[in-house]
Amino acid sequence: CKVMHLLFRTILVLNLLASAVSFECGHRFGLFRNPYDCTSFYQCDEWWAIKKNCSSGTWFDEEGHICNWPEYVKCWEELECMYYDQEAAPISEDVRSQRQSTCMFNHVVAESVEPGRKKNPLNVKIVEEILTEEIFIKAFPNANAPYTYTNFLKALAPFPSVCKTEIHCKQELATMFAHFQQETDGLFYTTEQGNRFDRYCQASINWVVKTYPCIPTKRYYGRGSRQLQWNHNYGAFSQAMYGDPKKLLDEPELLATTWLSFASGIWYFVTPQPPKPSMLDIVT
C-alpha cells in the first residue's frame, strides 16, 4: 500500500513538473491567459504556474476567468508574437535574427475565422474587402477541396504581417497566388504529381535527424499550395504553427486536406531563407 501511495505521488509530481513552464505569475494565486495561445491558461498557486487547457472549441476569457466560446472572448487582439526559431540548426545569430523577424500567432487564431465574422483579425478583414468570395470562386473554378475561400482566410490569420495594410495587400496577394498557380495549376493539385513514392526523408545530417525525425510510415512529398517537401520543412512549419515539430511529421497529410494547405504556402512566403530575404520583404 505504501509503495502504491509513493508511486501515485511520484506520478503526480512528474505531471506537475511536465506542465510547469517558464511563466511568471503576476499574483500569488489566480488564473491567467497564455500570452501565446487562446486555448490554454495558467493557474498560479503560491507563485507556481501550471498550464491548463480549455475544453475543445473554447478559449480562455481572462476577464471572467472561464473558458468560453470564441465569439465571446477577446483573445487574438492581445496575443504576443511567436517567432520561428530553429534552435538545433547550426545557424549564425544574424540568420536567427532575420528568421525571428517574422511575427506569427498560434494556429488556434485560425480556427474561429469565418467569412464576414466581426472578430476576424484585421488582416483577414482587409483581404475580405479586396478579394471577395465571389471573385475567388470565379478566379479558381477548379479549386480542389482544401482550397476554399474560408480556408484561405483561416490560413492568413496567424500571419499578421501579411496584408496588414490595404496599400500593399494587393501586391502581396498577387505574388502569393502567382506561386500557388505555378505549384497547383489553379489550386487543383493538392499533392505533387511526380514521385510520391520517395519518402523525402533527410537522414544524413545529424541535427535534422535529431530535430525533425522521419516517421517510418510517412512520406514528405510535396503537399499544399507551395508543395512543401522534405521532413525538415514539414517539421519547421509544424514548429511555427504548433510549437511542436512532431505534429506535422506525424500527420503530413494535413497539408493536403485542411487550411494548412494554404498556410504552408503563406509560411514559405513570409519566412526568410538567409542570405535571401523573405518574399514578403521584397514585395513590401
For 187, half-sphere exposure in the C-beta direction (CA atoms, 13 angstrom radius) is: 24
- Catalytic residue list contains 251: no
Burial of 38: CB neighbours in 10 Å, binned 0-12, 13-18, 19+? buried
Whole-angstrom Cα distance, residue 12 to residue 106? 29
- Cell numbers given for 182: 505555378
- Cell numbers given for 99: 528568421
Closest C-alpha among 116, 112, 110 to residue 128: 116
C-beta of residue 31 within 8 angstroms of C-beta of residue 41: yes
The 10 Å CB-count burial string (b at 16+, else e) for 48-85 is ebbeeebeeebbbbbeeeebeebeebebbeebeebebe
DSSP 3-state assignment of 30? strand
Sequence-separated (6 or more) residues with CB below 8 Å from residue 274: 91, 94, 95, 98, 99
Q: Catalytic one among 183, 192, 251, 253? A: 183
Q: Which stretches of 80-232 are assigned E, i.e. beta strand?
A: 82-83, 103-104
Q: Which residues are catalytic?
A: 183
